[in-house]
């Protein structure tokens, strides 16, 4: 089966819609699917502080009040589940997570999975912006690298590089740039098994929780 005009997103070579990989460059033709939390609240609700009813995003355009964020948000994608809660001692949730997968013809068996968790560093201003930007940029860059036939290690580093740049430019003031941790995993399913690559910066960690009697493991530090 051919779909007229279908082209490889990496090298522009014409491809057949049944192909999973480009025959020319070897890149993945799978579609990325993504989710990210926390999702922004509705922009239509009036300001709870001053009653301003003109739609606004995060901060009221009249009084500057920050729109109340939900204490918890959760999302799922394929076999992945994301949950984030507001820290007990914090007025707002400063953490974020994003996940994505490359899906070919079989949605139950993705070609690759990428996931990022970022904790906002509360001593920096607007930490929630850094964590949201870093987690989304990390997943985007990891999936793009894997789709372009990069190995997991190179994709992990590409994600970290994109996340660091996204966090550094997420705030409104470059002098007090917001900050966050970064913990990422790439899972490449293989026949009856999976290759898992983990990377982290800061004190958010990844845990491997195998069935007993194997011992649980934790990423450093």
Query: Residues in the site for Zn ion, rule: CB under 5 A?
Result: 8, 10-11, 13, 22, 24-25, 27, 47, 49-50, 52, 60, 62-63, 65
CA dihedral over 56, 85, 96, 31, signed as positive or negative: negative
Least distance CB 144 / Zn ion (angstroms): 13
CA dihedral over 168, 114, 121, 84, signed as positive or negative: positive
Closer to Zn ion by Cβ: residue 11 or 81: 11
Closer to Zn ion by Cβ: residue 60 or 133: 60
Least distance CB 35 / Zn ion (angstroms): 27
Closer to Zn ion by Cβ: residue 19 or 74: 19
Least distance CB 91 / Zn ion (angstroms): 16
CB count in 10 Å sphere of residue 211: 5
Q: Where are the alpha helices (DSSP H) in the chain?
A: 127-147, 152-168
Closer to Zn ion by Cβ: residue 27 or 199: 27
Give me the DSSP letters along 147-160.
HTT--HHHHHHHHH
Least distance CB 50 / Zn ion (angstroms): 3
Contact 82, 97 (CB under 8 A): yes
Distance from C-alpha of 72 to C-alpha of 95, rounded to nearest angstrom:
10
Could you tell me whether strands 112-118 and 182-190 are parallel, antiparallel, or unpaired per DSSP bridges?
antiparallel
Closer to Zn ion by Cβ: residue 62 or 206: 62
Least distance CB 33 / Zn ion (angstroms): 21
């Amino acid at each position: 089966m051919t779909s007229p005009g279908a082209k490889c997103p990496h090298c522009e070579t014409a491809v057949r819609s049944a192909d999973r990989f480009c025959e020319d460059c070897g890149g993945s033709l799978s579609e990325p699917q993504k989710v990210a939390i926390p999702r922004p609240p509705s922009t239509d609700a009036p300001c709870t502080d001053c009653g301003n009813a003109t739609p606004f995003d995060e901060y009221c355009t009249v009084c500057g009040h920050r729109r109340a964020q939900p204490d918890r948000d959760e999302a799922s994608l394929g076999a992945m589940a994301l949950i984030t809660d507001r820290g007990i001692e914090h007025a707002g949730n400063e953490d974020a997570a994003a996940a994505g997968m490359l899906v070919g013809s079989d949605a139950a068996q993705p070609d690759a999975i990428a996931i990022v968790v970022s904790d906002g560093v509360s001593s920096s201003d607007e930490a929630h912006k850094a964590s949201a930007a870093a987690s989304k940029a990390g997943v985007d860059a990891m999936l793009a690298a894997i789709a372009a036939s990069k190995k997991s290690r190179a994709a992990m580093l590409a994600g970290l590089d994109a996340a660091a740049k996204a966090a550094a430019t997420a705030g409104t003031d470059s002098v007090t740039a917001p900050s966050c941790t970064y913990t990422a995993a790439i899972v490449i399913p293989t026949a009856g098994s999976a290759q898992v690559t983990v990377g982290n910066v800061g004190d958010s960690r990844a845990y491997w929780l195998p069935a007993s009697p194997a011992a649980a493991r934790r990423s450093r530090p």
